[in-house]
């Protein structure tokens, strides 16, 4: 994972993004992105708003990456006057952006393989983004999408691997940020690991909803409807939760708990016969609004070939 402190030397990376919020400019968010030799500047007026290109890409072919420095600065524009600026939420990390179509983009971290937007959504305007902070073991997904439901999904997915069963996947969802009551963030096993996803694939999902508890759901036929195995704590909000999904043959079982030291609480089980012997294993988020972002934050993500 690429990380640096202000003013330190950096190592060459294909993609680097700097971001911060300038408080005394009315909360303006700014982002500078480097992709190989191309630089693009973005701004947005709120944390959940879309990034807007402020300056078109500039190519600097003669920049020596061995001497590249990344940081924040202020200038008064005058040798006789002082200037003062307050910046918050400064980050400097390597992360990756999927294309608007569900074509996989390689991740720079060994913790994940790729990320992409799937199915129904306004992904040209609200594309998904996945970031992994190695020092914190923390995943951040930002995405839009119509829903993970009905006969075709619309969501952002971060793929952790391609695996055959048995599979046990656990994660701590530490925060879900989204306006819609059916915003969802969770863990997923999905069919056809070798194909581009169009949103109609068979899948099993366990995750948090914004206002309707912890949900386990599945689609057992391609292009068919989705089913709710069970919604724990219906019509209540869990601000955070531990979740677990276990695959044993064609049987899938979901669990949840709020504290790490608690015993796992059974949610439900379901039966799905996947077409592919190898499944996509990953994190999934949908804002339930094709014109708005949601965010999900995970830690303690674990995947194993077991049925524990």
Query: How high is the mean pLDDT of the chain?
Result: 80
Tell me: do 106 and 71 sit in the same domain: no
Residue appearing with tokens 């480097």: 34
Give yes or no: residues 39 and 107 share one domain. no
**pLDDT at residue 147 is higher than 60:** yes
The whole-number pLDDT of residue 223 equals 95
Same domain assignment for residues 75 and 102: no
Residue 178 lies in a domain: yes
220 and 120, same structural domain? Answer: yes
What are the pLDDT digits (tens) for 90-127? 766 554 444 333 333 333 333 456 899 999 999 999 99
Whether 75 maps to a domain, the answer reads yes
Q: Note whether 45 and 150 are same-domain residues.
A: no
Asked if residue 157 is part of any domain, the answer here is yes
Q: Are residues 60 and 118 in the same domain?
A: no
Last residue of a domain, one of 66, 92, 118: 92
Query: Do 123 and 62 have their domain in common?
Result: no
Q: What is the pLDDT of residue 108?
A: 34
- Number of structural domains, the chain? 2
Query: Which of 83-87, 138-142, 291-295 has the weakest average pLDDT?
Result: 83-87
Higher pLDDT, 237 or 96: 237
Q: Quick: pLDDT tens for 28-58.
A: 778 876 655 567 777 877 765 666 766 655 5
The last residue of one of the domains, among 92, 113, 145, is 92
Model pLDDT for residues 178-205, shown as the tens digit of each residue: 999 999 999 999 998 777 789 999 999 9
* Residue 40 and residue 165 share a domain: no
- Calculate what percentage of the chain has a pLDDT beyond 90: 53
Kindly state whether residues 115 and 255 are assigned to the same domain: yes
Structural domain ending residue among the three candidates 26, 61, 92: 92
Looking at the predicted structure, is the pLDDT value of residue 18 above 60?
A: no
Quote the domain boundaries for residue 62.
15-92
- Same domain? 51 vs 152: no
Nearest to 97 by CA among 65, 120, 126: 126
- Check residue 26 and give its pLDDT: 61
pTM here is: 0.67
Looking at residue 174, its pLDDT comes to: 94
Kindly state whether residues 300 and 156 are assigned to the same domain. Answer: yes
> Is there a domain that residue 7 lies in?
no
- H, E, C per residue of the chain: CCECCCCCECCCCCEEEEEEEEHHHCCEEEEEEEECCEEEEEEECCCCCCCEEEEEEEECCCCCHHHCECCCCCCCCCCCCCCCCCEEEEEEECCECCCCCCCCEECCCCCCCEEEEEECCCCCCCCCEEEEECCCCEEEEEECCCECCCCCCEEEEEEEEEECCCEEEEEEEEEEECCCCCCEEEEEEECCCCCCCCCCCCEEEEEEECCCCEEEEEECCCCCCCEEEEEECCCCCCCCEEEEEEEECCEEEEEEECCCCCCCEEEEEEECCCCCCCEEEEEEEECCCCCCCEEEEEEEEEEECCCC
d(CA 105, CA 113): 8
Do 83 and 126 have their domain in common? no
Flag whether 3 is in a domain.
no
CATH number at residue 219: 2.60.120.200
CA angle 262, 139, 239 (to 5 degrees): 45
Tokens representing 13? Answer: 């990376």
């Amino acid at each position: 994972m690429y990380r640096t402190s202000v003013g330190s030397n950096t190592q060459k990376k294909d993609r680097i993004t700097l971001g911060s919020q300038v408080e005394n400019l009315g909360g303006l968010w700014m982002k500078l992105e480097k992709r190989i030799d191309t630089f693009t500047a973005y701004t947005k007026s709120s944390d959940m708003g879309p990034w807007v290109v402020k300056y078109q890409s500039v190519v600097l072919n003669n920049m020596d990456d061995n001497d590249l420095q990344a940081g924040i600065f202020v200038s008064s524009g005058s040798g006789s006057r002082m200037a003062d600026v307050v910046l918050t939420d400064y980050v400097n990390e390597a992360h990756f952006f999927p294309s608007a179509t569900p074509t996989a983009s390689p991740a720079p971290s060994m913790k994940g393989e790729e990320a992409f937007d799937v199915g129904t959504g306004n992904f040209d305007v609200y594309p998904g983004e996945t970031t992994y902070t190695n020092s914190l073991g923390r995943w951040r997904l930002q995405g839009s999408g119509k829903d993970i439901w009905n006969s075709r999904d619309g969501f952002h997915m971060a793929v952790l691997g391609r695996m055959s069963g048995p599979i046990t996947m656990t994660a701590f969802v530490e925060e879900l940020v989204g306006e819609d009551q059916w915003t969802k963030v969770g863990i997923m096993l999905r069919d056809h690991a070798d194909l581009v996803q169009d949103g109609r694939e068979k899948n099993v999902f366990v995750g948090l909803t914004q206002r309707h508890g912890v949900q386990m759901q599945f689609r057992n036929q391609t292009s068919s409807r989705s089913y709710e195995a069970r919604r724990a704590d219906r019509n209540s909000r869990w601000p955070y939760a531990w979740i677990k999904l276990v695959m044993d043959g064609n049987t899938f079982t979901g669990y949840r708990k709020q504290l790490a030291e608690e015993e796992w609480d059974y949610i439900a089980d379901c039966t799905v016969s996947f077409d592919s012997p190898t499944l996509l294993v990953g994190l999934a988020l949908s804002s339930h609004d094709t014109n708005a972002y949601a965010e999900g934050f995970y830690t303690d993500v674990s995947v194993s070939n077991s049925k524990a």
